[in-house]
Amino acid sequence: MTEMVYGAVPVRDGEPILPKWWRTVDKWSLSCVLFLFAIGLLLGLAASVPLAEKNGFPPFHYVTRQALFGVLALIVMIITSMMSPVVVRRLAVLGFLVSFVALAMLPFFGTDFGKGAVRWYSLGFASIQPSEFLKPGFVVAAAWMLAASQDLNGPPGRTWSFALCISIVLMLALQPDFGQACLVLFGWGVMYFVAGAPMILLVGMAGLVVFGGTIAYSNSEHFARRIDGFLSPDVDPRTQLGYATNAIQEGGLFGVGVGEGQVKWSLPDAHTDFIIAVAAEEYGLVLVLCIIALYTVIVVRSLLRLMRERDPFIRLAGTGLACMFGVQAMINMGVAVRLLPAKGMTLPFVSYGGSSVIASGIAVGMLLAFTRSRPQGEISDLLGRRR
């Protein structure tokens, strides 16, 4: 519809799908994802061997599984990035509905694997965490509602999206999974802000988050224990945060050397939630800064390309996906250096986990599809015409 109203630049008729995809996709972001995946395998070679030996598996059992999951995620990412925004929206909404039902059924059919939070479905040979697949689908569905509300006589998309967001946050908090709940709320808040939300409403939402956190602290032993551990001035060296903090300090600038790190023998989640501690100990601050730079490039380049986008749905959905992707990485690394309380959140494309890496592939595939160059001109051209 936008092209019908404002015109479009010529399209190369009959151009094959692959050349067209390669010409229009953001190659910098795509390259950064591949580098992150390679770093994840490199760190998995070091971090997962002790756990494999403990569980009676071959030394590289988890690395092999991560490679298989990663290849599947990359294939899904590339296929998704080749789709048009309309097709991505339709599939994302369908996937969101399935994930939403799966999340609602977790209290009845889910398992906690002894971690105190019912977040997974056990399939015997593998496990599935519905919240990982819910996030990208929710972002696209909420962006669709927010964009529709901007049309004349459009539906009350802001109210619908807010109600949907709150229902998801409540279900996640009951697991309990406060980290994913905060991430979903953040993603919706960013899109709502970009869509033109009044600042007073966002301040009110922040107040509600603080109020909800106070209630959770008073009624959830799991939540209170993590907050108390974070606020404590002393770190117990026998806890996960203690091991991770010591590993980061030992690593220094260039690390203790490949394979020489000790934190992987102490941390049960060294290959998942605290993978950055392994990177810092064995490869030092240099590799950590490289990882941060890769995430930064993906987020910043995506946002810059979205600034030129005319379609409000694409702009909102892409912004939500990019910001959620970057904030998840920031939360994971912030927990490891004790800037944030422990939340059990993976580092996208780097941490081990089938649900995490495949869901990250879907989310980034959607983001690449939304940020592809399209024959629509730039939004600055439209603003110039209106003047």
- Are the C-beta atoms of residues 366 and 80 closer than 8 Å to each other? yes
Burial (CB < 10 A; 0-12, 13-18, 19+), residue 221, is exposed
The pLDDT tens digits of the residues spanning 321-347 come to 999 999 999 999 988 888 887 777 889
- Are the C-beta atoms of residues 165 and 214 closer than 8 Å to each other? no
The DSSP string of 211-230 is HHHHHHHHH-HHHHHHHHHH
Domain-embedded: residue 4: no
Q: Residue 138: name the closest of 304, 359, 295 by CA.
A: 359
Domain-embedded: residue 299: yes
- Are the C-beta atoms of residues 191 and 319 closer than 8 Å to each other? yes
Domain-embedded: residue 5: no
Q: Of 118-127, 203-212, 288-297, which range is least confident?
A: 203-212
- Are the C-beta atoms of residues 371 and 354 closer than 8 Å to each other? no
307 three-state secondary structure: coil
31 three-state secondary structure: helix
pLDDT of residue 127: 83
Residue of higher predicted confidence among 176 and 375? 176
What type of residue sits at position 304? Answer: L
Domain-embedded: residue 167: yes
Q: Residue 356: name the closest of 340, 372, 370, 345 by CA.
A: 345
Domain residue limits at 209: 14-386
Domain-embedded: residue 2: no
Other beta carbons within 10 angstroms of residue 232's beta carbon come to 11
The pLDDT tens digits of the residues spanning 199-253 come to 777 777 778 778 777 887 777 776 777 777 666 666 655 667 777 878 888 888 8
**53 vs 47, 61, 153, 170, 264, CA distance in Å?**
11, 9, 62, 38, 12
- Number of structural domains (the chain) is 1
Q: Is residue 11's pLDDT more than 70?
A: no
Q: How far apart are CA 27 and CA 25, in angstroms?
A: 6
Q: Is residue 9's pLDDT more than 50?
A: no
Q: What angle, 0 to 180 degrees and rounded to 10, lies between the N-to-C axes of helices 85-104 and 354-370?
A: 150
The DSSP string of 246-302 is HHHHHHTTT-S-TT--SGGGT-TTTTTTTHHHHHHHHHHHHHHHHHHHHHHHHHHHH
Where helices occur in the chain by DSSP H, the ranges are: 2-6, 17-24, 27-47, 49-54, 61-81, 85-104, 106-109, 130-148, 157-173, 178-194, 199-219, 221-231, 240-251, 275-306, 312-336, 354-370, 379-386
Domain-embedded: residue 100: yes
What is the pLDDT averaged over residues 344-351?
Answer: 88
pTM of the model: 0.88
Q: Of 180-194, 275-289, 337-351, which range is least confident?
A: 337-351
Backbone phi and psi for residue 57, each to the nearest 5 degrees, phi listed first? -100, 165
Domain-embedded: residue 317: yes
pLDDT of residue 258: 79
Q: How far apart are CA 177 and CA 380, in angstroms?
A: 42
Q: How far apart are CA 101 and CA 128, in angstroms?
A: 14
Domain-embedded: residue 259: yes
